[in-house]
């Protein structure tokens, strides 16, 4: 799949409480709101390819730079889920969006969760990418010693990058060149941009998370297997039992690190577009769980 044809994404400005919030808004049709992770380590264009592919498929892609990221102004005191989700709902009001599909990566999926819990009637579906907000394989499952789980290609990559990953104190990470460079960039950004000062902290207005299968909208859950975990492994089955939704498609992308939408763009977009098509059909029964393995 290639995502071309709509040219340079145009940056737009929305003001809220005297703060500037920058965003992209491209295309027409059903609205998809993309919520990036805690930082923009890979650069502001990390989601451009996804946005272009959505537009070419007939969707409207909205990608805001959340407070304190990119050129968007920070919140005056500290970041929180409540403040981020309030910003995002204010933006959807400004754009007169009806029901939206939320796509959240990492910390962005926690914002999606807060948005869903507070205004569920405005959410048509949720996509969670490698985030504990809706369920994620923990780093404890990706033991560095489990090299026997690698295929020949990933074992060779591990031998090439294992010293770098050990130095970065992340020996369990996926040893691809893309993922190693992503981790290196994030470490540099932490020191250059004081990103540790931009982490979300608890707030009284954060939505409490219920017990059980509280997610009542269609859910597409991606989790990275980091070369070690596959769809039918016990760790994946344990996670499957904990997903808080009835209507869920659960996908372990084995050959990927944290940024699945970049590292495995073809898989990510194929499943995202199929989910968007499926989730706009009339819902019947109590929903279902389905699995896809890569």
- Give the pLDDT of residue 141: 74
DSSP string, 9-67: PPEEEEEETTEEEEEEEE--SSEEEEE--S--TT-GGGGHHHHHHHHHTT-EEEEE--T
CA dist., res. 222 & res. 143, Å (int): 20
Q: Which residues pair with 245 in a beta bridge?
A: 215
* Residue segments in the chain with a per-residue pLDDT below the cut of 70: 1-8, 40-44, 144-145, 189-199, 282-294
Measured CA distances, 45 to 23, 27, 41, 109 (Å): 12, 17, 10, 19
User: Residue 237: what pLDDT?
Assistant: 94
- pLDDT of the residue at 190: 65
Convert the pLDDT of each residue in 167-194 to its tens digit.
998 999 999 999 999 888 877 766 655 5
Closest CA to 112 of 96, 136, 137, 89: 89
Task: Report the predicted TM-score, pTM, of the whole model to 2 decimal places.
Answer: 0.91
Task: Residue 201: name the closest of 23, 35, 38 by CA.
Answer: 38
Give 213's DSSP letter. Answer: S
What pLDDT does residue 192 have?
59
Tokens of 62: 């909205």
pLDDT (0 to 100) of residue 288: 47
Assigned token pair, 40: 């923009």
Q: How many residues would you count in the chain?
A: 294
pLDDT, residue 282, reads 61
The helix (H) or strand (E) run that includes residue 245 is none
Q: Give tens-digit pLDDT for 146-164.
A: 788 999 999 999 999 999 9
Distance separating alpha carbons of residues 139 and 215, to the nearest angstrom: 24
- pLDDT score recorded for residue 294: 44
CA distances from 41 to 44, 65, 110, 277 (A): 8, 12, 18, 31
| Core vs surface per residue 119-145: b (16+ CB within 10 A) or e | eeebbbbbbbbbbebbbbbeeebbeee
- pLDDT value, residue 226: 95
d(CA 227, CA 257): 8
Distance CA 244, CA 177 (A): 33
The hierarchical CATH code for the domain 11-142+213-293 is: 3.40.50.1820
């Amino acid at each position: 799949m290639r995502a071309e044809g709509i040219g340079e994404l145009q940056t737009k400005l929305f003001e809220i409480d005297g703060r500037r919030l920058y965003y992209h808004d491209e295309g027409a049709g059903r609205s998809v709101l993309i919520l990036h992770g805690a930082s923009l380590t890979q650069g502001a264009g990390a989601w451009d390819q996804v946005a272009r592919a959505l537009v070419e498929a007939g969707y409207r892609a909205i990608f805001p730079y959340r407070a304190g990221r990119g050129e968007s102004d920070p919140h005056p005191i500290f970041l929180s889920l409540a403040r981020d989700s309030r910003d995002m709902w204010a933006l959807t009001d400004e754009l007169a969006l009806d029901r939206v599909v939320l796509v959240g990566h990492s910390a962005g999926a926690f914002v999606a969760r807060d948005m869903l819990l507070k205004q569920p009637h405005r959410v048509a579906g949720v996509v969670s990418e490698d985030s504990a907000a809706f369920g994620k394989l923990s780093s404890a499952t990706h033991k560095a010693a489990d090299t026997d789980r690698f295929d020949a290609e990933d074992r060779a990559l591990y031998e090439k990058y294992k010293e770098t990953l050990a130095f970065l104190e992340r020996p369990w990470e996926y040893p691809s060149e893309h993922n190693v460079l992503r981790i290196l960039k994030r470490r540099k950004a932490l020191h250059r941009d004081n990103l540790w000062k931009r982490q979300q902290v608890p707030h009284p207005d954060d939505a409490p998370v219920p017990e059980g299968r509280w997610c009542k909208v269609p859910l597409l859950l991606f989790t990275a297997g980091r070369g070690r975990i596959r769809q039918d492994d016990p760790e994946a089955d344990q996670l499957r039992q904990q997903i808080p939704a009835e209507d869920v498609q659960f996908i372990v992308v084995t050959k990927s690190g944290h940024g699945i939408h970049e590292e495995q763009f073809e898989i990510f977009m194929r499943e995202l577009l199929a989910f968007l098509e499926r989730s706009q059909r009339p819902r019947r029964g109590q929903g279902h769980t389905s699995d896809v393995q890569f």
